[in-house]
C-alpha cells in the first residue's frame, strides 16, 4: 500500500502527515480474494444451474408422493428442537451467569461438553441402550417378569426421539450465546425494573430475556441449521426429511438435477429461517447500559439443589452417559481390527489437509480485507467466502459433483480424441472433491478465527513495516504469521474436528472403497452393529473435545476479574 505525504493547506510550516491510502489492491491479494470467492460460489452456482435446467419429472413424482412428508417432518423437527434447546439452554445460561451455587465453576464449562458428540453418534448410543434388546429394557423385564407388549416404553426411533437427541447436543449453542448476553447486561437494568414493582421472576421474563433476545435467537438459528443439515440421525431414526430425500434421489434415481432441485427446497428453508429472524427484529434496537457486571447471588437449600439439577441433567444425559456407554463398548465388548487403524489414518490426514487448506485461504482473505478495508471487491469476496457454512453438506456435495464431473468428462473426451488414451477420473469421486467440499463448508469457521486474531494487531505495526520497505505479502509473512500463531492453531483445530465429524458430504463424495471413522460408524450402526461402531465413534468424540476445551479455557479467561 503506497504511502503519500499530505500537507495542511492552512499551514505550510507543519510537517507532512503520512496516511495509508486505500488505492487499488496489490495484484496478488486482489486475485487471491476474487479467486477464493469464485471457488466458494462454484458449488452454489452449480446447484442453481441444475435447478433451472434439469428435468422436473422426478420432482413431480416426489411432489405427488413424499414431498409433503419431507416438509411436515422438517417443520416439526425444527419446532421441537427449537423449543428443546431454548428450554435447556436459557435457564442454564441464566443460572451460571447470575447465581452462585455448588458446582457452578464446573457447570460453566461442562455444559459445553455435548458439543463434542455428533448427533448421529449420540443417536446410535441411546438406541443401543434403550431399544428392546438394550440393557434398560432388558433390566425392566428381568425385574418385573413382563414380556414384550405387556409394558409401554418410549420409542427412541421416532420423531420425538430425534428431537431429544438434537436437543441434547445442540443446546450449547443457545447456552453459550445467552450466557454471554446475560453477563453483559448491567445490574442497573434489573434494579430499575424492581423499583417499578417487578418481581425477580417478572423482571427475568420482561427485561432480561428481551434484552438477550438477539443472542438467544442467534444460538437458536445455529441449532436449527445444524438440525436441517443432519443426515445420520434422521435416517437412522426413520424420519423422512429433505436431507434423507436428497440421498434417496441421488442414489436411488441417480439424478443429480432432481437432487439439486430437492436441495433447493432445503436451501429455501434455511434462507426463510434467517429472513424471519431478521425481519422479526428489524424495528427493534438493543443497547446495554454501561456498568459493572452483576454480582452473583448465593443460592442455598432447595433453590441451590434445583439449580444443580437444571445444570446437571443436560450434562449427564448429553455427554456423561453416552460417553461412558461408548467407552464400555469400545474397551470391553468390541473387537478392534487392523481396519480401524486404516480408518483412523484416512480420517486424520483428510481432516489435517482440509484444516491446512482452510487456514491458508482464510489468511489470504483476512489479510486482503485488512490491507484495503474500503475495497468493495474484497468485502464482497470475504462475505461470499462465509456463505458455505450456512449450507448443509448435502447441498455442497451436489454442487461439487456437478462441475467436477463435467470437467472430468470434458478432459476424458479430449484425451481420448487427441491421444487415443483412456484416463480415469481426476477430480470427481476422488479426495480432491472431498477437500473441495470441506473447504467450501468450513472456510467461514477458519476465517472467523483468523479475522478475530488479526483485529488485535494494531495497524501502526503494518505502517511501520511498510515504511521499512516491506511488501504486503512480506508483512503477512514476517509480522502477522508469528503474531497469529494462536489464532491459526485454533482455526486449524476447529476445521480439523468439523471435518472429522462431517458425514453427509463424505458419504456422497468419498472415493470408491475409501472409508472414514464417521462413515464406518454410520455403516456399522445402520447394520445394527452398534457395539462394533463404538471405537470409531469414541475416537470422534475424543478428538471433538479439543475445541470444547479451547472454548472452555477462553471462557474461563474472559470471566476472570
The pLDDT value recorded for residue 338 is 64
Using CA atoms of 262, 268, 269, 272 in order, give the dihedral in degrees to the nearest 10: -170
> How do residues 14-36 score in pLDDT, each as one tens digit?
444 434 434 444 467 777 888 88
Sign of CA dihedral 48, 77, 254, 124: positive
pLDDT of residue 171: 94
Rounded CA separation 63/71 (Å): 11
**Would you state the pLDDT for residue 320?**
95
pLDDT value of position 385:
80
Which residues make Cβ contacts (< 8 Å) with residue 217, sequence separation at least 6?
277, 280, 281
Model pLDDT, residue 2: 43
Tell me which long-range contacts 308-313 makes (C-beta under 8 A, separation of at least 24).
308/101, 308/102, 308/103, 308/107, 310/91, 310/92, 310/95, 311/92, 311/95, 311/96, 311/103, 311/104, 311/107, 311/110, 311/111, 312/103, 312/107
Residues 6+ apart with CB under 8 A from 362: 443, 446, 447, 449, 450, 451, 491
Backbone angle region of 421, left / alpha / beta, with phi > 0 → left and psi within -120 to 50 → alpha: beta
CATH architecture of the domain 33-61+334-514 equals Orthogonal Bundle (1.10)
Compute how many other C-beta atoms are within 10 angstroms of the C-beta atom of residue 222.
19
CB 505 within 8 A of CB 434: yes
- Please calculate the CA angle 234-235-239 and round it to the nearest 5 degrees: 55
Q: What is the pLDDT of residue 45?
A: 84
Q: Which residues contact 28 (CB under 8 A, 6 or more apart)?
A: 472, 473
Give me the pLDDT at residue 557, please: 59
Give residue-wise pLDDT tens across range 155-168. Answer: 888 999 999 999 99
The grid coordinates of residue 349 equal: 490426514
Supply the pLDDT for residue 113. 92
For the chain, give every domain's residue range.
33-61+334-514, 66-247+283-332+516-555
- Identical topology for domains 33-61+334-514 and 66-247+283-332+516-555: yes
Distance (Å, rounded) from C-alpha 32 to C-alpha 378? 10
- In this prediction, residue 22 carries a pLDDT of 43
Domain 66-247+283-332+516-555 classification at class level: mainly alpha
Q: What is the pTM of this model?
A: 0.82
Residues of the chain short of pLDDT 50, as ranges, are: 1-26, 286-287, 289-291, 561
pLDDT of residue 23: 44
Amino acid at each position: 500500500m503506497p504511502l503519500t505525504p499530505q500537507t495542511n493547506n492552512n499551514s505550510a510550516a507543519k510537517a507532512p502527515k503520512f496516511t495509508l491510502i486505500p488505492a487499488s489492491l496489490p495484484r496478488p491479494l486482489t486475485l487471491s480474494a476474487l479467486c477464493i470467492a469464485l471457488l466458494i460460489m462454484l458449488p452454489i452456482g452449480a446447484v442453481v444451474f441444475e435447478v433451472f435446467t434439469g428435468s422436473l419429472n422426478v420432482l413431480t413424482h416426489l411432489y405427488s408422493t413424499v414431498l409433503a412428508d419431507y416438509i411436515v417432518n422438517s417443520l416439526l423437527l425444527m419446532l421441537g428442537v427449537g423449543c428443546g434447546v431454548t428450554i435447556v439452554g436459557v435457564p442454564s445460561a441464566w443460572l451460571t451467569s447470575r447465581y452462585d451455587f455448588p458446582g457452578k465453576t464446573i457447570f460453566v464449562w461442562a455444559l459445553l461438553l455435548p458439543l463434542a458428540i455428533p448427533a448421529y453418534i449420540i443417536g446410535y448410543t441411546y438406541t443401543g441402550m434403550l431399544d428392546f434388546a438394550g440393557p434398560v429394557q432388558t433390566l425392566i423385564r428381568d425385574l418385573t417378569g413382563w414380556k414384550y407388549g405387556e409394558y409401554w416404553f418410549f420409542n427412541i426411533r421416532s420423531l420425538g426421539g430425534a428431537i431429544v437427541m438434537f436437543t441434547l447436543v445442540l443446546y450449547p449453542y443457545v447456552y453459550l450465546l445467552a450466557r454471554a448476553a446475560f453477563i453483559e447486561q448491567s445490574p442497573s437494568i434489573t434494579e430499575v425494573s424492581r423499583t417499578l414493582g417487578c418481581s425477580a421472576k417478572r423482571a427475568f421474563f420482561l427485561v432480561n430475556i428481551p434484552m438477550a433476545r438477539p443472542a438467544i435467537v442467534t444460538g437458536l438459528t445455529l441449532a436449527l441449521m445444524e438440525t436441517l443439515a443432519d443426515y445420520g440421525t434422521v435416517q437412522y431414526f426413520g424420519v423422512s426429511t429433505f436431507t434423507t430425500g436428497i440421498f434417496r434421489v441421488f442414489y436411488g434415481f441417480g439424478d443429480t438435477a432432481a437432487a439439486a432441485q430437492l436441495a433447493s427446497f432445503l436451501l429455501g428453508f434455511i434462507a426463510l429461517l434467517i429472513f424471519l429472524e431478521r425481519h422479526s427484529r428489524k424495528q427493534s434496537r438493543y443497547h446495554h447500559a454501561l456498568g459493572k457486571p452483576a454480582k452473583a447471588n448465593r443460592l442455598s437449600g432447595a433453590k441451590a439443589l434445583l439449580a444443580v439439577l437444571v445444570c446437571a441433567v443436560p450434562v449427564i444425559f448429553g455427554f456423561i452417559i453416552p460417553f461412558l456407554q461408548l467407552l464400555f463398548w469400545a474397551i470391553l465388548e468390541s473387537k478392534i481390527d487392523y481396519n480401524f487403524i486404516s480408518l483412523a489414518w484416512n480420517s486424520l490426514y483428510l481432516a489435517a489437509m482440509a484444516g491446512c487448506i482452510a487456514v491458508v485461504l482464510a489468511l489470504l482473505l483476512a489479510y486482503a480485507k485488512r490491507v484495503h478495508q474500503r475495497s468493495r471487491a474484497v468485502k464482497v469476496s470475504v462475505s461470499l467466502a462465509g456463505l458455505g457454512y450456512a449450507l448443509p453438506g448435502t447441498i455442497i456435495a451436489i454442487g461439487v459433483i456437478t462441475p467436477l464431473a463435467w470437467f472430468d468428462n470434458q478432459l476424458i473426451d479430449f484425451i481420448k480424441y487427441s491421444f487415443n488414451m483412456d484416463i480415469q477420473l481426476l477430480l470427481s469421486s476422488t479426495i480432491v472433491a472431498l477437500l473441495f467440499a470441506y473447504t467450501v463448508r468450513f472456510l467461514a469457521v477458519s476465517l472467523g478465527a483468523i479475522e478475530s486474531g488479526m483485529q488485535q494487531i494494531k495497524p501502526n505495526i503494518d505502517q511501520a513495516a511498510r515504511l521499512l520497505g516491506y511488501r504486503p505479502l512480506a508483512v503477512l509473512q514476517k509480522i502477522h504469521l508469528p503474531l497469529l500463531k494462536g489464532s491459526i492453531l485454533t482455526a486449524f483445530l476447529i476445521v480439523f474436528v468439523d471435518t472429522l465429524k462431517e458425514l453427509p458430504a463424505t458419504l456422497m463424495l468419498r472415493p470408491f472403497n475409501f472409508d472414514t471413522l464417521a462413515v464406518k460408524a454410520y455403516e456399522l450402526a445402520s447394520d445394527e452393529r452398534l457395539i462394533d461402531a463404538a471405537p470409531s465413534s469414541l475416537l470422534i468424540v475424543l478428538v471433538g473435545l479439543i475445541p470444547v476445551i479451547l472454548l472452555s479455557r477462553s471462557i474461563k479467561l474472559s470471566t476472570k476479574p
